Structure 1
Amino acid sequence: MRRANRSSLLTDLFHDGLQSRQQLAATTALSQASVSNLIGEMLEEGLVEEAGLVGSDGGRPRVLLRVRPGFRYVVGADVAETRVLVELYDLAMNRLAAAELAHDDDPPQVAAQLIKGLNAVLAEAGVSAGEVLGFGVGVPGVVDQDGVVDAQSTGWDAVPLGPMLRAATEVPIFVDNGAKTFGQAEMWFGAGRGARHAVIIMIGTGVGAAVVMDGRNYRGANSNAGEWGHTTLIYDGEVCRCGARGCLEAYVGADGIARRLAAATGEPFGPELLAAQLAADPIRPEAAEVFTETAGYLGAGIADLINLFSPERIVIGGIAGSIFGERFLTEIRNAAASHALRRPYSQTSIELCSLGIDAVAKGAATLPIAQLLADGGLPEPDEPMMAMPPRPRRPPERSRR
């Protein structure tokens, strides 16, 4: 019970920022005495610090509290198609160091580059491994609890990435699907903040989604949930990277769009083609036709999410999703409206992400923070960790567009 109460207080302080003991008692429904005792413990541990005063009605000013940014540090990584991005943060999510390294998609080499990036950011920031809560890594594919990765599209078959990393560093390792870490970043700090039912979609070369139900990530029975890109859009359609035909990813993923653009415009196929055609002003008619078709495909896929999950909010992100959505958001919304049931569509907002292309790494860095919040601090020796983070109190509502 004590750990659960600490967890509740710490979660409120982390997500809602500066608060007094009186405010924490109101938001957590704990007694003033319990709040004072538990906050006193966390002040002694250095986990929480006093950070200013706020006036009160006729009484003494109230002391404001916050999670101490330098209590520990966290590192997050994004394993993309050809490179890894590694970033180090304090507990206020200030980025203190970053490293980017190329890889050739060979699992041992990827693991080696991740460790190299980890060591590089620790050295740059002057942080020791013992000061790091954990190293979170976002990767394509399905990830089990031990960090074993299956990525059918890239040929990773039961790759023990988590064990490989743990053998190379004393820093605690957390591995998860990149779309899920992206979704957690947007839910905690970005366009998903304030929603309790949301779907955060990430569109790059691959296409994935993070489904949030009642404030919690929905993972399915074996952490496989969210492979939205491999739902069937067109029966027996284009071949997808996963080997199946007609997957949504084959039509709205960056490669799928670029291949259709190359065929329509006569331009050579390549990773720059999509961005170049979107940046044109005006857009060439043959490219505009491809983009209109793509907005229709994406809208239809989003309509499926609306009909299945009835979310408050859908957030479109990822490198391809961001640049495409910025130009064609109205067309995407219109296509979703034409395919979704009217009532759930009317109760859902469709928005663009707000954190940019580094959000996968930032979200991965929150994985050890989520454990810290669940535990109410660092676990004591031989004390079991809480299995799940506490359910957060309902955040303030955002206006719907």
Structure 2
Amino acid sequence: MVGRNRRTVRDLRRANRSVVLQRLYFDGPLSRFELGPATGLSSGSVSNVVADLLADGVLEEAGNVDSDGGRPRTLLRVAPGSGHMIGVDVGETRVRVELFDLALTELARAERPLGPEGYEVDVVVGHIRDAVTEVLTAADLAPERLLGVGIGVPGIVEHTPDRGAVVHGQTIGWDAVALESLLRERCELPATVPYFIDNGARTLGQAEMWFGAARGARSAIVVLFGSGVGACVVTPEAEDGRAVEGGHLTVRVGGRRCRCGALGCLEAYAGAEALLGRWRETGGRPPEGAGQESALTALVADPDARDLLEETAEYIGAGLSDLINLFQPERILIGGWAGLRLGPALLPDIRRHAAAYALRHPAERVTIDLGGLGPDAVTVGAALLPLADFFTHGGRRAAPAPESPRPAWQAALQERAPR
């Protein structure tokens, strides 16, 4: 019997393709000579892998560079047009969909506002379906060329064997919504195009780790402030990051009621929706007809709201101190559209309060800054989900899992289950 951990030749070839592809993606263009020490592969392995990737159209030549006394060396890079990804941000006020090539050049964008019906499942699914069709049409791209559709959503995402990604979004009224199955039923994409659905804070964290202010850190926490609050934690044990419900840390016992139903959550004080409600309670007047984003801008500029903002900074600092004590990160980044609006005004106070509430040793090691990728980072991070899968498979599209009948023992247990 073959041991479970024994790698096949196919596994080794895929791993070699993956390491070469990723090195060229993040550090290219590079020559074959440079790829050897950069990847740890032998010159023969590099030559074979590069030949395969060139033949597949995943790599392309990018000019020459002079060598010491020898022939000029050919530079290689990932071919931007060899793959395309769609990123979807199911946000608080809109559904944003963007189409990218492999170089993350935006080829098309579509947005659908969320009206009074809010997060009604059928409405959100319809917005995603229509916007995906719109961006593909605008770019004149056949859907078969997609590596996948990445989607960032609020809430906890459970990946199940029978229904795919299921979303538990307590604050938006989603109770075990089988989002992946619904998209499969209603979107006109080929079965070969996979969906990658994850928490929006995690997709933000992925983007910041790959290209933003968290790049190079071994451990980081990226906190998303929008109408609500979420966080992504990246540690050496979880290099791809994992979403945590940072907005539902208790920062005040018996405090304000949160959208989740509990009392005293960070989100009940620092989420944009709750913060604007607190401003109105103190006499704040948002501009007539203003949405959340415009209203929050007005709040930050209101001199009479200084005490409210200082109190909010303390709540945020206290919440971050819990994350510092629990995970001891090198960096904390504040992102999301609300975080990027509040951050410039509140960051010094947030740092001060986080240090005061956290244990001294981890607090002295962490830096707290703003995210570096702007308000579109969730969409970019969502598009990175199919790109990461492309890398994992060595630059080949993942084949859909074949459908197979359930084993007899599973059917027997199902029949015996109480109804």
Q: If the length of structure 1 is used for normalisation, what is the TM-score? A: 0.90
The Cα shift of 1:363 comes to 0.7
Aligned to 2:204: 182
Separation of aligned partners in 2, 1:352 and 1:178: 17
Contact residue 158 and residue 166 of structure 2 kept, 8 A: yes
Q: Deviations over 1:80-109 (max 9, x none)?
A: 123210000000000010000124321122
* CA pair 352-266 structure 1, distance change in 2 beyond 3 A: closer
Choose 235-244 or 105-114, whichever is displaced more. Answer: 105-114
Choose 51-60 or 137-146, whichever is displaced more. Answer: 51-60
In the TM superposition, 1:62-211 aligns within 5 A as 62-103=73-114, 104=117, 105-145=119-159, 146-167=164-185, 168=187, 169-170=189-190, 171-211=193-233
Contact residue 150 and residue 386 of structure 2 kept, 8 A: yes
Paired residue type of 2:143? A
The Cα shift of 1:257 comes to 1.4
Paired residue type of 1:332? I
Aligned to 2:51: 40
Paired residue type of 1:188? W
Partner SS for 1:70: helix
The Cα shift of 1:277 comes to 2.2
Q: Is it true that 1:302 corresponds to 2:320 in the alignment?
A: yes
Separation of aligned partners in 2, 1:99 and 1:379: 25
* CA pair 353-197 structure 1, distance change in 2 beyond 3 A: same
| Selected match of 2:261 from 239, 243, 261 | 243
The Cα shift of 1:197 comes to 0.6
Separation of aligned partners in 2, 1:164 and 1:318: 27
The structure with the larger Rg is 2
Partner SS for 2:244: coil
The Cα shift of 1:191 comes to 1.1
| Selected match of 1:320 from 335, 338, 347 | 338
Q: Is it true that 1:5 corresponds to 2:16 in the alignment?
A: yes
Aligned to 1:212: 234
Separation of aligned partners in 1, 2:97 and 2:400: 31
Separation of aligned partners in 2, 1:174 and 1:382: 13
Contact residue 99 and residue 121 of structure 1 kept, 8 A: yes
Unaligned runs of 5+ in 2: 1-11, 403-419
Partner SS for 2:80: coil
Separation of aligned partners in 2, 1:155 and 1:33: 56
| Selected match of 1:273 from 291, 295, 303 | 295
Contact residue 286 and residue 298 of structure 2 kept, 8 A: no
Q: Deviations over 1:119-158 (max 9, x none)?
A: 1000101111011111111111111222211100011001
Aligned to 2:5: none
Unaligned runs of 5+ in 1: 220-224, 385-401
Aligned to 2:396: 378
Separation of aligned partners in 2, 1:330 and 1:65: 44
Separation of aligned partners in 2, 1:358 and 1:38: 35
Separation of aligned partners in 1, 2:380 and 2:111: 14
* CA pair 204-102 structure 1, distance change in 2 beyond 3 A: same
Contact residue 78 and residue 84 of structure 1 kept, 8 A: yes
Paired residue type of 1:54? V
- RMSD over equivalenced CA pairs, Å: 1.8
Aligned to 1:336: 354
The Cα shift of 1:374 comes to 0.6
Q: Is it true that 1:363 corresponds to 2:384 in the alignment?
A: no
* CA pair 57-295 structure 1, distance change in 2 beyond 3 A: same
Q: If the length of structure 2 is used for normalisation, what is the TM-score? A: 0.86
* CA pair 336-361 structure 1, distance change in 2 beyond 3 A: same
Paired residue type of 1:116? D
Q: Bigger relative contact order, structure 1 or 2, given CA contacts below 8 A and separation 6+?
A: 1
Paired residue type of 2:316? L
Q: Percent identity?
A: 49
Partner SS for 1:135: strand
Separation of aligned partners in 1, 2:33 and 2:367: 35
